Amino acid sequence: MPDDAKERIRERLDLAEVVGEVVALQSAGRGRLKGLCPFHSEKTPSFHVLQDRGFYYCFGCQAKGDVFDFVMRTQNVDFYEALQLLGRRVGIEVTPSTPQGTKKRDLYEINKLALAFFKAHLPGPARDYLLGRKLTPESLEAFDLGYAPDSWDALLKHALNKGFSDDDLLRAGLIAESDSGRRYDRFRHRVMFPIKDALGRVVGFSGRVLDDALPKYLNTPETEVFKKAELLYGLDVAKGAIREAGECIVVEGYMDVIALHQCGFKNAVAALGATLTAEQAAQLARQGVERLLLAFDADEAGQRAVLSGLEQSVGRNFLVRAVRVPFGKDPADAVLAGHVGAFREALRGGLSEVAFRFERVLARFDVSTLEGKKGALQELLPALTPRDVFDPVASEMRRLVIDHLGIDGARLDEWVRARTRRKLDTTQLKGMQRGEGASQRAIIELEVIALLLLEPHRLAERLEVLEAALPEAGEDALLREFCAVCRACAFDDRAILRHYQAREEGRIVFERLLTQEAQQERRIDVDGHLHKSLSRLRELYLSDEKEAQRKRLLERMQEVSGYLTDPNLPTDQLQHYYAELREINAMLAARDAERRLRVPTGYANRKRR
């Protein structure tokens, strides 16, 4: 290939645009961008693109090169194939000096041929079936759905007529071979879902039956380009929305992805399995994902099973929540049945992986004792240690430790940052404990105040929503006072902060506010955090109310027991008090059972079992 053609291709290409299809890039100074390296695993971006010079360099693994090197490494092709791919991109035809091609290139071409074949056969029963499932024609086209005819050799004959060999089709997993050596179409009478890589190339297929036949789904076997553990269905379509939101919804089924996109959830992908692999998570990290919402199961037991089976690296690198799909349905069934609002609300809740991990640690320690608290803190230390300037997982774990273990935030930070961390002793732990000035409920209320002050331009609007959501029992709550202060200060955030500056609560407000402002650079979901904090607050009010009722029952039981010691008590009154005592004992037993089953409303009160 003449050198001038190579240079003409280079001149028309923007390296950042090519790299940006694989890696989420962010500005790192004039003419420079950075992101997570696609060639080695890392948490902090060390991969730099020098846009003006047309080169990339990784400070972590020393990978370097130009746009051709990048395509060769990320797509595993040789120089001529990279030249052809990039030439097609800018409208320059490239013909290799000698006829050549690799198996991988052939597999992409074969899959592309099969896709066109399946799409051509979609009209008819298969299309009617999909429309009957409430998918729109636009969705069918956007995801390139097709149909494999009910024939043993329709695709095989079509490919042979187009110049491909049956060995090519066998290597691509599109045909199978019997023990007798007969070769036949693998996919027959099935709706076909093409599975693409992040660059939009077809690497395999999944076929679904139209009736009750088994197996319900049939996938391409593992090939040189189809590696199930590394692929995410829909990522090629969703990556723009994922990068914009910093958040990804992960589901289990192809239909779930298509239905969610159709209903406006453009950041949904499928994991091609019951959980997320480390390889899939690495792909999402390169897309700039910070929050993962796993919408796999409809009940809490299922949520816990998902989080329990999650790769440890996944939980450490992302803020993960297992979402409870509303109405006991799959995500597709839920949104296509008109429950879009309920599903959107479910995404704002869910079981936090950080809270789940925190709960599991506390289940093994009695944190009402210093020894138990020491053990819990030592085990949580790795999760508390930030792996980046801002680590959302470490930040969330820090919040849980402060709120539920009564640890002072500044002293906790000192211990976590200490270069030589000796095992905590009792004296050190006592020094880390927070004073009794602020209850857990008060801390959450102060956290809500800091969230509201994070975006002053929406303070009045959010305050109106907040007042409607506040529990009636909280008439003397800090939030009620905050509402009055806001109005007295005409919603001027500086005046409001001055009001709290001299008060004990001000320290917590300022600490939370500064922490959240750091998170704001990473697109913190203020409304989502407010929703969760208010939910926790309502739960605490309910818990406090039930605890007050329990206290009244205990007082009444003591009072009744005193009556029973009177030797002159008439028989009818004796029977009455005994009956009341039995009723009180039954109520107390029921409340204690309920309290033990509530998870995880009272971390700080949990006892070792």
Tens-place pLDDT, residues 511-561: 666 665 555 555 567 888 888 888 777 777 776 676 677 667 767 777 766
SS3 call for 319: strand
Mean pLDDT of 173-185: 94
Q: Which of 176-190, 447-461, 536-550 has the highest mean pLDDT?
A: 176-190
Going by C-alpha positions, the residue among 483, 426, 427 that lies closest to residue 452 is: 483
The CA distance from 291 to 316, in Å, is 11
Question: Quick check: 257 pLDDT over 50?
Answer: yes
Instruction: Please give the average per-residue pLDDT across 8-37, as a whole number.
Output: 86
Spatial neighbors of 172 by CB under 8 A, at least 6 apart, are 106, 107, 110, 111, 114, 220, 223
Residue 475 has pLDDT above 60, yes or no: no
Q: Which helix (H) or strand (E) holds 50?
A: strand 47-50
Residue 416's DSSP bridge partners are none
> Percentage of residues in the chain with pLDDT exceeding 70?
82
pLDDT recorded at residue 351: 81
Q: How many residues does the chain have?
A: 609
- More confidently predicted of 239 and 600: 239
Query: Which residues are 192's β-sheet partners?
Result: 146, 207
Give the helix/strand (H/E) hosting 320: strand 319-322
Window from 61-75, 381-395, 470-484, 503-517 with minimum mean pLDDT = 503-517
Task: Assess whether pLDDT exceeds 80 at residue 593.
Answer: no
Q: What are the residue ranges of helices labelled H in 133-190?
A: 137-142, 154-161, 166-171
The residue that leads in pLDDT, 64 or 595, is: 64
* Token representation of residue 568: 């002159």
User: What is the topology classification, in CATH, of domain 103-226?
Assistant: DNA primase DNAg catalytic core, N-terminal domain (3.90.980)
Mean pLDDT (the chain, rounded)? 82
CA 356/CA 344 separation, integer angstroms: 22
Q: What is the mean pLDDT of residues 394-412?
A: 85
Where in the chain do CATH 3.90.580.10 domains reside? 3-90
Weakest-pLDDT range from 187-191, 352-356, 474-478, 548-552:
474-478
What is this structure's pTM? 0.64
pLDDT (0 to 100) of residue 28: 79
| Position 181 pLDDT exceeds 50 | yes
Sheet holding 32-35, edge to edge: 26-27, 32-35, 47-50, 55-58, 64-65
pLDDT at 268 (0 to 100): 97
Q: Which CATH number applies to 235-349? A: 3.40.1360.10
Q: What is the location of CATH 3.90.980.10 in the chain?
A: 103-226
pLDDT of amino acid 157: 96
E strands within 178-304?
Answer: 183-185, 190-196, 202-209, 217-219, 247-251, 268-270, 291-294
pLDDT tens digits, 235-245: 999 999 999 99
Distance (Å, rounded) from C-alpha 68 to C-alpha 54? 10
The lowest-confidence range among 340-354, 525-539, 562-576 is 562-576
64 DSSP β-pair partners: 57
pLDDT band with cut points at 50, 70 and 90 for residue 606: very low
Numbered ranges of CATH 3.40.1360.10 in the chain = 235-349
Exposure string for 37-67, b = 16+ CB within 10 A, e = fewer: bbeeebeebbbbbebeebbbebeeeebeeeb
Architecture in CATH of 3-90:
Alpha-Beta Complex (3.90)
Q: Which residues contact 491 (CB under 8 A, 6 or more apart)?
A: 456, 459, 460, 463
pLDDT of the residue at 134 = 96
User: Which residues neighbour 416 within 8 Å (Cβ) at sequence distance 6 or greater?
Assistant: 381, 384, 385, 386, 398
Q: Which residue has the higher pLDDT, 391 or 27?
A: 27
